[in-house]
Structure 1
Amino acid sequence: MSIVFAGLSPHPPLLIPEIGRRDRERVSLTDQALKKLAGLLTQSKPDVLVIISPHGPVFSDAIAILHKHILKGDFGQFGAPHVSFTEEIDLEFITEIEKTSREQDIMVVLMGDKECKQYNITGKLDHGVMVPLYYFREFGLDAPLVPITMGMLPYEDLYRFGALLTKVSKKLDKKIAVIASGDLSHRLTPEAPAGYNPHGKEFDEFLVKALKKYKVEDLFELDPKLIEKAGECGLRPIIIMLGALDGLEVDSEVISYEGPFGVGYCVAAFTPTDKEIPSKIDLLYKKRSDRLKGIREKEHPLVRLARQTIANHLEGKKTSPPEELTPEMKKKAGVFVSIKKHGQLRGCIGTTAPTQENVAQEVIQNAISAAFYDPRFFPIEKDELDELTISVDVLSEPEPIESIKELDPVRYGVIVKQGNKTGLLLPDLEGIDTPEQQVEIAKRKAGIITDDNIKLYRFKVTRYH
């Protein structure tokens, strides 16, 4: 057996009659679409129902699966505790997922009672699972559940994990349906819960068009900055769901899209046919490798110096500044080296003022610190080098300011001081849209709790990639 159906479901709790009440009128299009999706899903008669949520226990390096024979959940946090679920879980399927994932070098964490206690997790079904499940159970679908929480893994790994779900279904001779639970942009209008960003509409239009035409590769070409500005929670579940359909020709249908309350809700159905097509997995990994190679080939000399420093350190070698210093390397300034791996921060350490003879030596020192001594991360290993993207920020001299109104999170970084505590935040960071956010994060980094006797400084950076 194999995958028999896949779908995308939004998960606003107000879709539930006992919660939404009059507000449900504003999501009537989504309500009707979910009823159609539930009907199509039920007709496919799956043996196992897999729902992928973004709202369970999310790990940076793993995919989490609740691992109990019976799972419960309710909408108590939304004022409707009497709307509840008691669900049978397919432990055989989950155990085989974990085993196969381990063989394919994808980390899966099974969340039993012990693990839930260890990570301080309730171990109950979250609303990302329960909202679509409400509609499916109303239509009489009684297949056992496999609730999966997306991880912050690279998109290609998530897609490969999705393909792995279908591989497990074939091995166990079980028909599966895979549902991605996720909302699109949370920033469509000024009333949106995450604030307004004009790029939210752009993201939603792109994603809906790609799903309608079933252009899977297009999702991997999305600009990371656009994704961040959209403030979405559905892309990763969608990618896992699409991975489950890998190697099959698919009939796709976007049943509905609407954006009430400033949040994009899309309902879509994907029905696999019997016709097999080439897998996209190798192609997606090759495109990622080529993209990273292209970035490395265009790196600024300061960034190349940081990368070479990291590579040399892994070999036990010291790095010296180039014999011929570029103009940027000759000056004295504070420098931050930031390292990312597949869009996720991997290390960032720097100096607010010069501590070395020149910027070149500043980069060498801070590249080693960011790669190997950032206390938030394990030291970088040799096999990660080609997966890393690096940026170098050269700081201007900080200037004191009297008011938060003199800040601009895109143009200026901020330094917050209180006594001997100092917190710094660089400018133009993903997800930082207001001076208030900027200052609050800098305070948190410094361990500053109150606003008493706070001093603010701003600075500019020249960012090199």
Structure 2
Amino acid sequence: MKNILGYYLMPHPPIVIPEVGKGEEKKIDRTFNACNEIGLEIANLKPETIVIITPHGAMFSDAIAISDEERITGDLRNFGVSSVKMDFAMDREFNENLNHICQLDGISTATVGSALLKKYDYKFQLDHGAIVPLYFVNRHYNEYKIVHITYSLLGEMNLYRFGMNLRKTAEKLGRKIVIIASGDLSHKLKEEGPYSYSPYGEKFDAQFLEFLHNGDVSSLFNMNKTMVEEAAQCGLNSVYILIGAMEGKNFKGDLLSYEGTFGVGYGVMKFKRGEEDSSALNLLIKLKKEKTKKKLDSGNPYTKLARESLYFYFSHGGRMKDITNLPNELLKEKHGVFVSLKKFGSLRGCIGTIAPTTNSVGEEIIKNAIEAALNDPRFETVKEDELEDIDISVDVLMDAVKASREELNPKIYGVIVTKGYRRGLLLPDIEGVNTVEEQLSIACSKAGIDDNEDYEIEKFEVVRYKEGE
């Protein structure tokens, strides 16, 4: 007997709901109609439980959250409409078994209730990432319990394996379920959208939907990291879990609608799991090993040296000394250097120097890479087995020059503010820092300088090197 009856990707714009949109929803009527079509289909399937995967619940950095109380409620009062409300019984038996299977599989999960969330000043409730898709189901059918999942930034492989465990749980319990991956696509499709326009937004949406339509898991997991980051989307991680639940067979996606009217991509898609045996998991494991090897064997010499220095440190317990074989640009030049470590897209460590403290850029990279891994006070020490999941970038700081406010540009220049012995630095092109005032304010805050004080300003350019570029 087939336990998973349907697989769906649905967006979650509150404006698509008439009570919120007040007529504006007619501008995305294809999205409305496609979501309604899925609602009707689910009503005909009559699942016992709906698993909803959302980016907007209580999210933990180190565990996938499984909401777990007898009931869960929520409404759209944050969007001006408290009359759109929901109250569901939760499938706690499913939650318990899912959590147990994940723990045995080494996937970090946490069952989350009111008491735990209260410690984080967070209310146990349905978020709009769940409410909007379920609104279209409830128009036609409401005889179901829910499993409410908020993904974590544990990496695509762990999310995929979590999806596999959804299937195992459904099969173990003999539970008839459907899975809805809630997520919007790029938020950067238009200047008047929620974020400034980026050409990466349209590229991401087109590739993402094409790969899903074709059931091309390899390409989906191998998308350009810069494009994914620049697209400002919230659907990819939900989909990693969704397609993990289809592991073992091929699949195809049927795109019901796509619209970007308000500057955000809304994709509605349903999936059919095929009959052909196809293990994407083995392919993904192979791809991961190839990516790790590529990081060491190729790429620019700056990030390659940073990575090699970390492997050397963990193998030998000290810094690399022999750097005679490095390119001249790393041996002959002296600059300040920042080394940043990101794990699954989130910062894992960053240490740098404003001015050179060693005899070469190469030595500066080696020193700061180890410092970023071991001594960034914001994070726990990086462990050796994390290195394959970490991406490295190296920023080489050109010489700073005095500047006025009018000469600054936060996208092009970094800034240094100085008042006596107090000094603060901010690198250029940081997400969320769009104005000179914001840049200076953050730099001053780092230095303990009041915004209203007189302070010296310097600007500098940065040459940024990323792995894979």
Instruction: Please state how far the C-alpha of 1:268 moved relative to its aligned partner.
Output: 0.9
Q: Distance in 2 between matches of 1:335 and 1:186?
A: 32
Contact 1:58-1:150 within 8 A present in 2 as well: yes
Q: 2:311 maps to which residue?
A: 311
Instruction: Please state how far the C-alpha of 1:38 moved relative to its aligned partner.
Output: 0.6
Contact 2:319-2:366 within 8 A present in 1 as well: no
Residue 87 in 1 paired to residue 112 in 2? no
Contact 2:39-2:137 within 8 A present in 1 as well: yes
Judged with a 3 Å threshold, the aligned counterparts in structure 2 of structure 1 residues 42 and 438 are, in CA distance, closer, same or farther, namely: farther
Instruction: Please state how far the C-alpha of 1:460 moved relative to its aligned partner.
Output: 1.9
**Which runs of structure 2 are paired with 1:28-43 in the superposition (5 Å)?**
28-43=29-44
Residue 233 of structure 1: SS of its match in structure 2? coil
Contact 1:228-1:431 within 8 A present in 2 as well: no
Q: Distance in 1 between matches of 2:285 and 2:161?
A: 10
Residue 58 in 1 paired to residue 44 in 2? no
**Deviations 1:365-413, CA, capped at 9 Å, x for gaps:** 222211100112111112223333333332211112102553251x432
**Deviations 1:319-370, CA, capped at 9 Å, x for gaps:** 3252456422233321212223343322110110122233333233222211
Q: Distance in 2 between matches of 1:447 and 1:162?
A: 46
Instruction: Please state how far the C-alpha of 1:208 moved relative to its aligned partner.
Output: 2.1
Instruction: Please state how far the C-alpha of 1:60 moved relative to its aligned partner.
Output: 2.5
Contact 2:441-2:451 within 8 A present in 1 as well: no
Give the alignment partner of residue 398 of structure 2, picking from 396, 399, 406.
396
Q: 1:131 maps to which residue?
A: 132
Q: 1:214 maps to which residue?
A: 215
Residue 460 of structure 1: SS of its match in structure 2? strand
Number of positions where the alignment pairs a residue of Structure 1 with one of Structure 2:
463
Q: 2:244 maps to which residue?
A: 243
Q: Distance in 2 between matches of 1:359 and 1:269?
A: 51
Residue 459 of structure 2: SS of its match in structure 1? strand
What TM-score, normalized by structure 2, do the two folds share?
0.92
Instruction: Please state how far the C-alpha of 1:305 moved relative to its aligned partner.
Output: 4.0
Instruction: Please state how far the C-alpha of 1:207 moved relative to its aligned partner.
Output: 1.7
> Which range is displaced more, 447-456 or 78-87?
447-456
Contact 2:405-2:436 within 8 A present in 1 as well: no
**Which runs of structure 2 are paired with 1:416-435 in the superposition (5 Å)?**
416-417=417-418, 420-429=421-430, 435=436
Q: Distance in 1 between matches of 2:18 and 2:108?
A: 38
Q: Distance in 2 between matches of 1:141 and 1:6?
A: 18
Q: 2:285 maps to which residue?
A: 285
Q: Distance in 2 between matches of 1:431 and 1:221?
A: 26
Contact 1:421-1:447 within 8 A present in 2 as well: yes
Residue 351 in 1 paired to residue 353 in 2? yes
What TM-score, normalized by structure 1, do the two folds share?
0.92
Q: Distance in 1 between matches of 2:450 and 2:24?
A: 38
Runs of 5+ unmatched residues, structure 1: none
Q: Distance in 1 between matches of 2:346 and 2:332?
A: 31
AA of the residue aligned to 1:66: S
Contact 2:67-2:149 within 8 A present in 1 as well: yes
Once the two structures are aligned, what percentage of the paired residues are identical?
39
**Which runs of structure 2 are paired with 1:53-452 in the superposition (5 Å)?**
53-273=54-274, 275-314=275-314, 315-323=316-324, 326-327=327-328, 328-409=330-411, 411-417=412-418, 420-429=421-430, 435=436, 438-439=439-440, 441-443=442-444, 445-446=446-447, 450-452=451-453
Q: Distance in 2 between matches of 1:4 and 1:145?
A: 15
> Which range is displaced more, 158-167 or 426-435?
426-435
Residue 22 of structure 2: SS of its match in structure 1? helix
State the Cα RMSD in Å: 2.3
Q: 1:457 maps to which residue?
A: 458
Residue 253 of structure 1: SS of its match in structure 2? strand
Q: Distance in 1 between matches of 2:465 and 2:27?
A: 46
Contact 1:3-1:245 within 8 A present in 2 as well: no
Q: Distance in 1 between matches of 2:246 and 2:271?
A: 9
Instruction: Please state how far the C-alpha of 1:280 moved relative to its aligned partner.
Output: 0.5
Judged with a 3 Å threshold, the aligned counterparts in structure 2 of structure 1 residues 239 and 325 are, in CA distance, closer, same or farther, namely: closer
Contact 2:153-2:344 within 8 A present in 1 as well: no
Runs of 5+ unmatched residues, structure 2: none
